[in-house]
Amino acid sequence: MTLLSAEHLRVSYGTTAILQDVSLSIAAGEIVTIVGPNGSGKSTLLRSLIGALRPDSGRILREAGLRIGYVPQKLSIDSTLPLTARRFLDLPRRVSRAQGEAALTRTGVAHVANRQMADLSGGQFQRVLLARAILNAPQLLILDEATQGLDQPGAAQFYRLIEDVRGDLGCAVLMVSHELHVVMSASDRVICLNGHICCEGTPEVVSAAPAYRELFGTGTGGALALYRHDHDHHHHHHHHGTTD
């Protein structure tokens, strides 16, 4: 069953086209990851999907009554705004004490309920955002670079948590990430974006695709190249891909 789909999206700022002819769909329960270099339109795509941006052309179809849980890329809370983690969950609708506690417990941050959001560590902050996103038992969880600012173990833990939450709720997950090697393993499907969809498929298919390798084989350099070097054995493919 398709929860959300986009057909031939085109989004531009001024005369610069950010997204061109982007079509995708998310089925119930699957984990889809969008990868792409900086400026490839990943956030623009997510913002279009949640309705924060109106595409120039193309359309977005949602299943009627679709419940979306959204975790933004960053949330800068002005230092003049006092807000505890628990109070944050009540936006925009108040939730019961039990509900709030359950959500914070689920994401492992029940102990910071009464702390100020501004005083939380990066990992705690993201977990509170996730707790808020799962309050309405979403059918689709959308996360925009949710692990930005976390170190590698922290990011890996966060992705495991997302997998667990998906297991509990049975929701689909759509996320954007630049931490390809971490995200890949958790994803059912990967979409490689660079203004348009370069390639898409299972992590294995995408990581072997020439278009993907062209973008990331040299683009992100060190860590990823090393990782691929260690963990798959298609050296000749790699070579082939970059010279293709």
Asked if 93 interacts with another protein (CB under 8 A), we say: yes
| Closer to another protein by Cβ: residue 86 or 181 | 86
Contacts by 158-162 with C-beta closer than 8 Å and gap 24+? 158/123, 158/126, 158/127, 159/183, 159/186, 160/186, 161/107, 161/108, 161/127, 161/130, 162/31, 162/130, 162/186
Contact predicate 33/181, CB 8 Å: no
Does position 64 bind another protein by CB under 8 A?
Answer: no
Helix 122-133 with 152-169: angle, nearest 10 deg: 10
Furthest CA-CA distance within the chain: 59
Closer CB to another protein, 26 or 224, in the complex: 26
Contact residue for another protein among 5, 116, 148, 157 (CB under 8 A)? 116
Q: CB 84 → another protein: shortest distance, Å?
A: 6
Helix and strand numbers (H, E) in the chain are: 10, 9
Query: What's the min distance (Å) between Cβ of 81 and another protein?
Result: 4
8 A C-beta contact, residue 175 and residue 142: yes
Candidate residues 7, 30, 90, 163; the one interacting with another protein per rule CB under 8 A: 90
- Shortest reach from residue 46's CB to another protein, in Å: 8
Residue closer to another protein (CB basis): 42 or 213: 42
Do 174 and 140 contact (CB within 8 A), yes or no? yes
Residue 87 contacts another protein per CB under 8 A: yes
Q: Does 63 bind another protein (CB under 8 A)?
A: no
Which residue of 17, 77, 102, 110 would you call a contact of another protein, by CB under 8 A? 77
Is residue 186 within 8 Å of 159, Cβ to Cβ?
A: yes
Interface contacts to another protein, rule CB under 8 A: 47, 50-52, 68-70, 72, 75, 77-78, 80-84, 87, 90-94, 116, 142
